[in-house]
Chains A and B, each alone.
Chain A
Amino acid sequence: MTSFNPARVRADVPLFHRAVHGRPLVYLDSASSTLPPRAVIEAMDRYYEYRHANVHRGVYLTAEEATADYEGARAAVARFINAPGGAEEIVFTKNTTESFNLLARSWGASRLAPGDVVVVTEMEHHANVVPWFQLRDSHGIEVRFIPVGDDYRLDLTHVDRLLEGAKLLSVTGMSNVLGTRNDLAALARLAHDHGALIAVDGAQSVAHGTTDVVRDGIDFLAFSGHKMLGPTGIGVFWTRRELLESMPPFLGGGGMIADVRTDGFTPANGVARFEAGTPPIAEAVGLHAAVRYLEGLGRDAVEAHERALTRDALERLECTFAGRVRVIGPRDVIDRGGVLSLDVDGVHPHDVAQVLDQHGVCVRPGHHCAKPLMRRFGLAATARASFGPYSLTRDTDTLIEGLGHALALFA
């Protein structure tokens, strides 16, 4: 049993000590990027001030220490997602987007033939759409979409037909627009029943609950460090060892080879094959610290806290604005994360966000890199507020105050 205390988390995050426009920072943009706690920043500082060296090369002390730090981060991430094969299954990338490009260009380009089917959903981030369209253009694959219903959840009515002949189902763990969480275990069973593998976009889900690739039967997982209290510039690609070993390299260069001659090259074995060039070492150290920090909070406790915040915000938005502020997402908090996409009556999301900024409130206006989903609901954009482990009910107070201001200014 952990003693989760969001106020203590907030005290751990240096950025909350900053004022904006003379007001306290009300950070409601964790779906874009989470704010790192001091432990993450200090781990990276310590690395740069005390141990920095390139990894896997030098045999001097700091190079050995840096290598141990980097590989230690891999082991921590493997534990974090319960990777059955351990650290040997964790590839560090730049971000979730690069992880999906790795999946499409390596596994996809080598395993898929013209006419093969990849199934995604209408609620995917562009990172899990565009690489498949690129593969359609270069390799002639077919891309199908599972639709989203009026209840803002996947409409699985015709899923058997959609999955017919599919080689891959690639789906988000949690929509970055709707907050909808998908039942990954059920989707994995569906995919496997149709002979397809399942890839999961964990960008929105990893920091807001537990991720267990064995429990859910997942085959590929992608996520980013900076959406789980870690630094920018590092992402993770995970797959089971036997799949990883069958995949050709994606980016070529230093570090990913076993041999290079004047007539060609032989790629390295294992995860090194996918990590060309000097990797994000300090970022791996920071990610390791973020993993430990999240584990210390207790991921179930974080999820429960954010669920309580979401329930409270949904109720108060409804009773304060009586329909003038519409939430584009499920009304209940079952299988739903702390993302509130707002459609404010008569006020463009950009203007909503600009007025909120004057109240110190950080939200994200735009299409959230999910244009198929926005189109599905006839929207060009929304203003999205999203919670993190450091969020408090008083953040919702200020959000509501700012929304009232925006309505008054533009109505």
Chain B
Amino acid sequence: MAPLDDLYREIILDHYRSPRNRGELATPPAHRVEGFNPLCGDEITLYLELADDRLVDIKMTGRGCSISQASASLMGATVKGKALVDVRAALERFRQLMTVTETRLDEGAEAEPPDVRSLGELAALAGVVKFPVRIKCALLAWTTLAQGLDEASGH
């Protein structure tokens, strides 16, 4: 198992202590979506304002552990103002980052570290995958965002 510092990077602790984009947006025009982690009771509510195929604004409320809250905060900072196509691409990249590959579970065998250069600050969460139980914490905001985008664009 990896050392604790791999999980609790300074950027993560910073986003946990001072979360970005906290608050609510008026609905409508914003779309409101809730996510729950049934295993630990963490919850998040996202407010997504979409216009011209862009995510023009995002706000969030909720409670949870440092990983789920920091991941949500980092997500908001990453996707706010982006074209929806880029938001979905970021979502997909993050999901891949949080995937446990078979080799990683094999004792002694280390998989190639993922290329995190395109992820910016989000790369701070790359260590979470070494703590498989915490992956669902990191993913909560992102799966909620995916659901919200689907709902808001009428899927």
**Given A350-B65, A354-B134, is A380 in contact with B42 using a C-beta cutoff of 8 Å?**
yes
Provide the bound-state CA to CA distance between A357 and B1, in Å. 10
Report Cα–Cα, A111/B131, bound state, in Å: 48
Whether A354 lies near B7 (C-beta < 8 A) is yes
Interface residues of B in 53-75 (CB under 8 A from A): 63-68
A383 to chain B, nearest CB (A): 11
Query: Using Cβ atoms and an 8 Å threshold, which residues of chain B touch A410?
Result: 13, 16, 66
Question: B40 an interface residue at 8 Å Cβ cutoff?
Answer: yes
Q: Judge if A5 is at the interface, Cβ distance under 8 Å.
A: no
Q: Does A371 sit within 8 A of B, measured CB to CB?
A: yes
Chain A hits for B49, CB < 8 A: none
Given contacts A349-B65, A351-B66, A354-B131, contact A381 B41 (CB under 8 A): yes
With contact pairs A350-B67, A410-B13, A410-B66 given, residues A381 and B40 touching in the complex (Cβ less than 8 Å): yes
Q: Is B26 interfacial (CB 8 A cutoff)?
A: no
Place the interface of chain B in its size category: 20 to 34
A366-B40, A380-B40 known; A351 vs B65 contact (CB < 8 Å): yes
B41 touches A366 (CB 8 A): yes
CB distance from B132 to the nearest CB of A (A): 12
Residues of A within 8 A of B42 (CB): 350, 380-381
The CA-CA distance from A15 to B65 in the complex, in Å, is 29
B79 within 8 A of A: no
List A contacts of B43 (CB < 8 A).
380
A358 to B66, Cβ gap below 8 A?
no
> What is the bound-complex CA distance between A371 and B41, given in angstroms?
8
A371–B40 CA distance with the chains assembled, in angstroms: 10
Contact B39 A366 (CB under 8 A): yes
A380 touches B41 (CB 8 A): yes
The dominant DSSP class at the A interface is helix
A349 to B67, CA, bound (A): 12
What's the least CB distance linking B37 to chain A, in Å? 9
Across-interface contacts of B1 in A (CB, < 8 A): 20-21, 357
Chain A, residues 345-363, CB within 8 Å of chain B (1/0): the string is 0001111001101100000
Interface centre among A20, A348, A355, A358 (most CB of B within 10 A): A348
Whether a CB of chain A sits under 8 angstroms from the CB of B137 is yes
Q: Mark A318-348, 1 if CB is under 8 A from B, else 0.
A: 0000000000000000000000000000001
B7 contacts A367, C-beta separation under 8 Å: no
A350 lies within 8 A of B7 (CB): no
- A348 to chain B: which residues have CB within 8 Å? 64-66
What are 17 residue pairs bridging A and B, where the CB atoms are less than 8 Å apart in the complex?
A: A21-B1, A348-B64, A349-B65, A350-B64, A350-B67, A350-B68, A351-B67, A354-B8, A354-B134, A355-B4, A365-B40, A366-B39, A366-B40, A367-B40, A371-B41, A380-B41, A380-B43
A binding-site residues for B, Cβ under 8 Å = 20-21, 348-351, 354-355, 357-358, 365-367, 371, 374, 380-381, 409-410
Q: A351-B66, A365-B40, A410-B13 are in contact. List 6 more A-B contacts (CB 8 A).
A: A21-B1, A348-B64, A348-B66, A351-B67, A354-B134, A380-B42
